[in-house]
Structure 1
Amino acid sequence: MRFGARSALAVITLAALAAACGVPQDSAPRSHTTADCGRYARYGKHPGTEVTVYGENRDREADLFEETWADFADCTGIDVQYEGDGEFEARIQVRVEGGNAPDVAFFPQPGLLERFARDGRLKPASAGLVALAKQGWSADWNGYATVDGTLYGTPLVANVKSFVWYSPKFFRDRGLNVPRTWSELMALTEKIAASGVKPWCAGIESAEATGWPVTDWIEDVLLRQQGTGVYDRWVAHEIPFDDPRVIKAMDTVGSVLKNDRYANGGFGPARSMASISFQEAGTPILSGDCAMHRQASFYADLWPEGTEIGPDKDVYAFLLPGAAPADRPVLGGGVFTAAFADRPEVRAFQEYLASADFANARMRKGPFVSANRGADPANAATPVDRLSIQLLQDPGTQFRFDGSDLMPASVGAGTFWKGAVDWIGGASTRQVARSIERSWPSR
Structure 2
Amino acid sequence: MIRNPWPALSARRRSLAVPAVLALVLAAACSNSTSGSKGSSGAVPTLTGGCAKYQAYAGHSGTKVTMYASILSPESDSLEKSWAEFSTCTGIKISYEGSNDFESQLQVRVTGGNAPDFAIIPQPGLLAQMVKSGKVVKPPAQTVANEDGWNPAWKTYGSVDGTFYAAPMSANMKSLVWYSPKAFKAAGYQVPQTWAELMALSDRIAKAGGGKPWCGGIGSGTATGWPATDWLEEVVLGSYGGDVYDQWVSHQVKFSDPKIITAMQTVAGWMQNPAWVNGGFGDVKSIATTTFQDAGAPILTNKCWMLQQASFYQAQWPKGTKIGPDGDIFAFRLPAVNPAVPSPVEGGGEFVTAFSNRPEVQAVQNYLSSSDWASSRVKVSTGWVSANQGVDKSLYTDPVDKLSAEALTDPAATFRFDASDMMPPAVGAAQEWKSLTKWFAEGQAIPKVAADIDAAWPQ
Tell me, yes or no, whether TM beats 0.5: yes
Question: Per-residue deviation at 1:127?
Answer: 1.8
Question: Per-residue deviation at 1:7?
Answer: 8.8
8 Å CA contact 2:407, 2:413 repeated in 1: yes
* Farther-moved stretch of structure 1 (57-66 vs 288-297): 57-66
Q: Does residue 448 of structure 2 align to residue 431 of structure 1? A: yes
Question: Per-residue deviation at 1:376?
Answer: 2.6
Number of the residue aligned with 1:159: 172
* Counterparts of 1:2 and 1:82, CA distance in 2: 8
Q: Which of 318, 321, 329 pairs up with 1:304?
A: 318
* Counterparts of 1:163 and 1:304, CA distance in 2: 19
Overall identity of the aligned pairs, in %? 48
DSSP-derived class of the 2:387 partner? coil
8 Å CA contact 1:145, 1:154 repeated in 2: yes
8 Å CA contact 2:241, 2:414 repeated in 1: no
Q: Which of 318, 330, 344 pairs up with 1:329?
A: 344
Q: Which runs of 5+ in 2 are unaligned?
A: 1-17, 26-46
Q: Does residue 116 of structure 2 align to residue 73 of structure 1? A: no
Deviations 1:51-84 (A, max 9, x none): 1111112233222222211111122221211111
8 Å CA contact 1:163, 1:318 repeated in 2: yes
8 Å CA contact 1:35, 1:71 repeated in 2: no
Number of the residue aligned with 1:24: none
Deviations 1:398-441 (A, max 9, x none): 21111111111111111000011111120011110011001100
Aligned AA for 1:433? A
* Counterparts of 1:5 and 1:263, CA distance in 2: 39
Q: Does residue 379 of structure 2 align to residue 364 of structure 1? A: yes
Aligned AA for 1:430? P
Number of the residue aligned with 1:420: 436
Number of the residue aligned with 1:25: none
Deviations 1:64-106 (A, max 9, x none): 2222111111222212111111111111111111110001111
8 Å CA contact 1:180, 1:324 repeated in 2: no
Structure scoring higher RCO (CA < 8 A, sep ≥ 6) equals 2
8 Å CA contact 2:342, 2:412 repeated in 1: no
Number of the residue aligned with 2:267: 253
- Greater share of helix residues, 1 or 2? 1
Aligned AA for 2:169? L
* Farther-moved stretch of structure 1 (367-376 vs 101-110): 367-376
8 Å CA contact 1:378, 1:386 repeated in 2: no
Question: Per-residue deviation at 1:327?
Answer: 2.6
Question: Per-residue deviation at 1:254?
Answer: 0.5
* Counterparts of 1:37 and 1:175, CA distance in 2: 54
Aligned AA for 2:427? V
Q: Which of 296, 302, 306 pairs up with 1:282?
A: 296
* Counterparts of 2:387 and 2:156, CA distance in 1: 14
Question: Per-residue deviation at 1:156?
Answer: 1.3
Q: Which of 111, 124, 132 pairs up with 1:97?
A: 111
8 Å CA contact 2:278, 2:286 repeated in 1: yes
Q: Does residue 414 of structure 2 align to residue 401 of structure 1? A: no
Aligned AA for 2:351? F
8 Å CA contact 1:3, 1:82 repeated in 2: yes
Deviations 1:147-205 (A, max 9, x none): 11111111112111100000111111121111111111111111111111310000111
8 Å CA contact 1:235, 1:407 repeated in 2: yes
Question: Per-residue deviation at 1:377?
Answer: 2.8
Relative distance call for 1:351 and 1:98 in structure 2 (3 A) is: same
Relative distance call for 1:2 and 1:184 in structure 2 (3 A) is: closer
Q: Does residue 211 of structure 2 align to residue 194 of structure 1? A: no
Aligned AA for 2:400? V
* Counterparts of 2:90 and 2:292, CA distance in 1: 38
Number of the residue aligned with 1:180: 193
Aligned AA for 1:88? F
Instruction: Give the count of matched residue pairs.
Output: 417
DSSP-derived class of the 2:285 partner? helix
Question: Per-residue deviation at 1:3?
Answer: 4.1
8 Å CA contact 2:235, 2:263 repeated in 1: yes
Q: Which of 348, 354, 364 pairs up with 1:339?
A: 354
Name the TM-score, length of structure 2 as normaliser: 0.87
Relative distance call for 1:373 and 1:107 in structure 2 (3 A) is: same
8 Å CA contact 2:135, 2:355 repeated in 1: yes
DSSP-derived class of the 1:199 partner? strand
Relative distance call for 1:37 and 1:249 in structure 2 (3 A) is: same
